[in-house]
Chain A
Amino acid sequence: MNIFRLTGDLSHLAAIIILLLKIWKTRSCAGISGKSQLLFALVFTTRYLDLFTSFISLYNTSMKLIYVACSYATVYLIYMKFKATYDGNHDTFRVEFLVVPVGGLSFLVNHDFSPLEILWTFSIYLESVAILPQLFMISKTGEAETITTHYLFFLGLYRALYLINWIWRYYFEGFFDLIAVVAGVVQTILYCDFFYLYVTKVLKGKKLSLPA
């Protein structure tokens, strides 16, 4: 465990909590893509099946349980409790265009052709693109609430910090996981445009709105 990995995990946790609190406090999930949140719930479910097969550390187990619980709570709030506020008309990204190719790729390119490993690979690939329905929704409506942009910032920052963590681990531990690194690079690149808008607009006190 190095500082980049730890701050990456905490940044991920912050993003998840920010989103939950935003929905809970405002009693509304307006502007949030339920599809992205469903994909993240699927990501955590398929990745953390190893909770049943291997123990890494108390930290590892606790964080996995928290991520899974929070992602299911978020999906529950969007599709059940605050369903009336869910902006389904703008959440029109076709998720099958992500899930099907990612599913196929995880069968073809993996570390080991075993059920658990294929599901882990699927979750890594799917996570890298799971934010696309949310970004698509923002591009469609042309704006995002400031709190939603904070959520996206921490979610993007998390994978960027993991990239530094992987460089660190390569040099100091000889650890290198090509699948995670390539997917992590793709994932981080998808946030670059958003990072630019976040720094140039949101951090200067302006609302994030895109030119028509």
Chain B
Amino acid sequence: SQKVFKHDEL
């Protein structure tokens, strides 16, 4: 999954 590469958390 590539999802984790865009980090949307702080």
Contacts and interface: CB of A to CB of B under 8 A. Distances in A.
Contact of A63 (B4, B6, B7, B10): B10
B3 A175 contact: yes
A120 B7 contact: yes
Contacts of A111: 4-5
A64 B3 CA distance: 20
Interface in A98-122: 111-112, 117, 120
Interface residues of B, number: 8
A12 B4 contact: no
Nearest to B4: A177
* Dominant SS among interface residues on chain A: helix
Contacts of B6: 54, 56
B5 A60 contact: no
A9 interface: yes
Nearest to B8: A56
| Residue of A5, A177, A180 most packed against chain B (CB within 10 A) | A177
B4 A67 contact: no
Nearest to A44: B10
Interface string A110-151: 011000010010000000000000000000000000000000
A154 interface: no
22 contacts: A5-B9, A9-B10, A12-B10, A47-B7, A50-B7, A54-B6, A56-B6, A56-B8, A60-B8, A60-B10, A63-B10, A64-B10, A67-B10, A111-B5, A112-B5, A117-B5, A162-B9, A175-B4, A176-B4, A177-B4, A179-B4, A180-B9
